[in-house]
């Protein structure tokens, strides 16, 4: 129940027994104002600043209406109203601002001094946001977020220095360790400020239609309530759990040879992912794709027939698509002729460099362009026989572009991935293929969850670095889970090979260990395949094969966790704090451990040349998966961790213990 309580020179708004908003004339809860945007973009990287900012705290506020579930506050100087509506332990805020020049809003929400804050999209090297300012603008996260020689060399080439908050997915939402949660439906630029002890601040470059603040008994309950608002992803097709999706490129003959090689090792394979199904081109960044969403008859002759042959072997065929078109291709010419491309201020197709060659973005604010793109996916992909694809990009809308709808690109920028997800979803559902076909994205936005199949963590370096390599994929997955994303995976082995960064056998095998305990196991050859070790090299093939068998054997557990996510919004791969919140201070020291469901504790080896690994076991009774040795919780243990035996423990009273015991 919502309650308004008078305090000295102001009021306090309570939801149950928790204070949500506190307002005094000295410390107003709301500020309104105006500012001018200064956004510069280059290859999906953005410099976001503002000029001429003038914010005015709203000091005079008086109550117009008040009841247990509806409160209306009038703002000073006839500037409008704030409306609070309570329902089921949630307060919805809406605004009626009379001054049309107002395009900035700042809102303060009460905080508990010791609470931790999680969520807000995707982050690569941190989980708790307390003490940080989190900008909300999707972009290329960049390669190199460290202060080292590699970062300096990359930055000098791209003229972009990545920061910790640069990510493919950023939304104005969070949950706290004490069960509080927050969501804003505003899609333009915003900032979440968690640097103050007594309040959290949300700053938006516009006026949200709705802001929701809620309280729940526990953090786990808060995540359930938040995902009810955000929506939950569609279930993955069951075939995904049959084995690994092998990333292979180079044409039909290469695919056939690699399939023959891995079958002899009893590798469990569910699909073949050929990102070059529509052709390739070479750029200074490496081996890149030809962005024309029709199969390449030279690389993959008679592709529909080849796909049918693969299905007879219980293998699915997957491809690739994105939001761009390569100039000079047939689909580009068709889109240009029909006016389906995003334009610059001269009303010409806007060339966007990715990273060094131009591509043209399809304008999803144009209903005809959306339908056209959806038809391309139906006709050229699903009806050809593809069972899935990477639906890449979504972060590149330039701030000075011209959109068909007339919408401001500053407001639409963070919405583009939602439209991209919806187009892919509708193409699948309208053909009745939702149980057979899925897609995976790396760009996220407000409200895209309900249309999304799977999310992958973007482009990691092929190394063990905390900010960019294997650990960053783990961290990103856990933060995504606290942001409502349940089906998440990474490029097994990483993606980005640059300079002296080349994928080693050890890295690939350690990544395979981790991937076996996620919802999807999928490899990638990387941007420079010739420099990388792959799943079918002599020194890796047996180890990768073993982990695919473990992944496949876990299918009943994978599906159980999927069903649990559908019902509760709790992700399969989850932070340990969701179940052991009373140990939160200890658990924060072990950020790269996670629970795969409630019953498996997974501690990936994220450093080179390790034969043993330390693991923190929370308060429970645990069994080491490989040795079957039993342990009690609330202690640090050291276990042997040779390659192929990732540190994993199961709860002694798990109903899946018989299944787990078959894995070793």
CA distance 617 to 634: 6
Task: Please pick, among 86, 225, 357, 392, the residue that the annotation labels catalytic.
Answer: 392
CB 509 within 8 A of CB 226: no
CA distance 570 to 296: 41
> What phi, psi does 331 have (nearest 5°)?
-70, -35
Give the bridge partners for 61, in sequence order: 75
Q: What is the largest CA-CA distance in the chain?
A: 78
Task: Please pick, among 115, 221, 459, 536, the residue that the annotation labels catalytic.
Answer: 459
CA distance 323 to 342: 11
**Torsion angle of C-alpha atoms 328, 329, 330, 332, degrees rounded to 10:** -80
CA 249 to chain centre: 25
Q: Which two tokens stand for residue 333?
A: 């010419």
Burial class (CB in 10 A: 0-12, 13-18, 19+), 218: middle
The total of other beta-carbon atoms located within 10 Å of residue 28's CB is 20
SS3 content of the chain, % helix, strand, coil (to 5): 25, 30, 45
* Peptide bond before residue 355 is cis, with ω within 30 degrees of 0: yes
Q: Which two tokens stand for residue 156?
A: 């000098």
> What phi, psi does 269 have (nearest 5°)?
-125, 130
Task: Please pick, among 395, 513, 525, 645, the residue that the annotation labels catalytic.
Answer: 395
CB 481 within 8 A of CB 571: yes
Burial class (CB in 10 A: 0-12, 13-18, 19+), 256: middle
**Torsion angle of C-alpha atoms 541, 544, 545, 550, degrees rounded to 10:** 170
**Nearest Cα to Cα of residue 648 among 595, 598, 609:** 595
Q: Which two tokens stand for residue 151?
A: 């970062």
Burial class (CB in 10 A: 0-12, 13-18, 19+), 347: exposed
CA distance 92 to 607: 46
CB 14 within 8 A of CB 66: no
Is 392 a residue of the active site? yes
Q: Name the 3-class secondary structure at 247.
A: strand
Give the bridge partners for 600, in sequence order: 596, 650
CA distance 46 to 388: 31
**Nearest Cα to Cα of residue 86 among 100, 69, 74:** 69
**Nearest Cα to Cα of residue 28 among 44, 10, 43:** 10
Catalytic residues: 392, 395, 459
């Amino acid at each position: 129940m919502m309650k308004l309580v008078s305090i000295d020179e102001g009021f306090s708004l309570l939801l149950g027994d928790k204070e949500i908003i506190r307002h005094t004339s000295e410390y107003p809860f709301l500020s309104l104002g105006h500012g001018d945007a200064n956004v510069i973009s280059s290859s999906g990287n953005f410099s976001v600043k503002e000029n001429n900012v003038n914010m005015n705290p709203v000091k005079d506020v008086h109550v117009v209406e008040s009841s247990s579930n509806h409160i209306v506050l009038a703002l000073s100087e006839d500037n409008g109203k704030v409306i609070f509506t309570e329902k089921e332990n949630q307060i919805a805020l809406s605004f009626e601002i009379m001054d049309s020049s107002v395009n900035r809003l700042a809102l303060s929400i009460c905080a508990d001094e010791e609470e931790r804050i999680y969520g807000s999209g995707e982050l690569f090297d941190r989980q708790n946001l307390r003490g940080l300012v989190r900008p909300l603008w999707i972009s290329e996260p960049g390669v190199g977020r460290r202060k080292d020689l590699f970062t300096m060399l990359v930055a000098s080439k791209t003229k972009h220095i990545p920061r910790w908050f640069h990510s493919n997915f950023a939304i104005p939402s969070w949950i706290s360790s004490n069960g509080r949660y927050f969501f804003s439906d505003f899609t333009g630029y915003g900032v979440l400020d968690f640097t103050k002890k007594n309040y959290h601040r949300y700053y938006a470059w516009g006026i949200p239609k709705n802001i929701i603040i809620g309280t729940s008994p526990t953090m786990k309950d808060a995540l359930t309530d938040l995902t009810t608002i955000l929506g939950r992803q569609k279930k993955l097709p069951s075939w995904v759990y049959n084995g690994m999706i092998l990333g292979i490129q180079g044409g039909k003959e290469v695919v056939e040879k690699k399939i023959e090689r891995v079958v002899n090792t009893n590798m469990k394979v569910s699909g073949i992912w050929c990102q070059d199904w529509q052709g390739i081109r070479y750029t200074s960044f490496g081996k890149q794709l030809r962005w024309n969403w029709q199969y390449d008859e030279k690389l993959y002759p008679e592709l529909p027939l080849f796909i049918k042959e693969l299905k007879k072997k219980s293998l699915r065929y997957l491809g690739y698509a994105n939001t761009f078109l390569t100039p000079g291709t047939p689909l580009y010419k068709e889109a240009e002729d029909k006016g389906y491309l995003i334009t610059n201020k001269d009303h010409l197709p806007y060339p966007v460099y990715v990273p060094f060659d131009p591509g043209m973005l399809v304008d999803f604010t144009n209903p005809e362009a959306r339908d056209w793109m959806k038809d391309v996916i139906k006709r050229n992909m699903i009806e050809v026989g593809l069972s899935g694809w990477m639906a890449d990009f979504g972060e590149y809308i330039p701030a000075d572009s011209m959109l068909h709808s007339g919408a401001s690109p500053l407001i639409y920028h963070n919405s583009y991935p939602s439209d991209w997800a919806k187009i892919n979803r509708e193409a699948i559902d309208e053909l009745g293929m939702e149980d057979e076909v899925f897609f995976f994205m790396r760009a996220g936005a407000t409200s895209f969850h309900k249309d999304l199949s799977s999310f992958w963590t973007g482009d990691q370096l092929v190394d063990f670095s905390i900010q960019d390599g294997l650990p960053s994929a783990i961290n990103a997955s856990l933060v995504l889970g606290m942001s409502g994303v349940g089906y998440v995976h990474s490029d097994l082995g990483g993606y980005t090979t640059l300079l002296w960064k080349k994928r080693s056998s050890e890295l690939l095998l350690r990544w395979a260990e981790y991937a076996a305990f996620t919802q999807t196991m999928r490899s990638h050859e990387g941007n420079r395949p010739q420099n990388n070790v792959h799943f079918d090299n002599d020194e890796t093939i047996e180890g990768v094969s073993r982990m695919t068998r473990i992944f496949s054997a876990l299918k009943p557990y994978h599906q159980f966790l999927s069903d649990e996510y559908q019902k509760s919004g709790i992700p399969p791969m989850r932070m340990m704090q969701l179940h052991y919140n009373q140990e939160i201070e200890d658990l924060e020291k072990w950020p790269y451990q996670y629970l795969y469901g409630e019953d498996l504790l997974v501690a990936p080896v994220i450093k080179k040349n390790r034969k043993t690994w330390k693991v923190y076991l929370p308060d429970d009774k645990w069994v080491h998966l490989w040795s079957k040795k039993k342990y009690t919780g609330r202690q640090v243990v050291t276990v042997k961790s040779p390659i192929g035996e990732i540190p994993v423990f199961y709860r002694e009273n798990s109903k899946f213990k018989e299944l787990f015991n078959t894995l070793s």
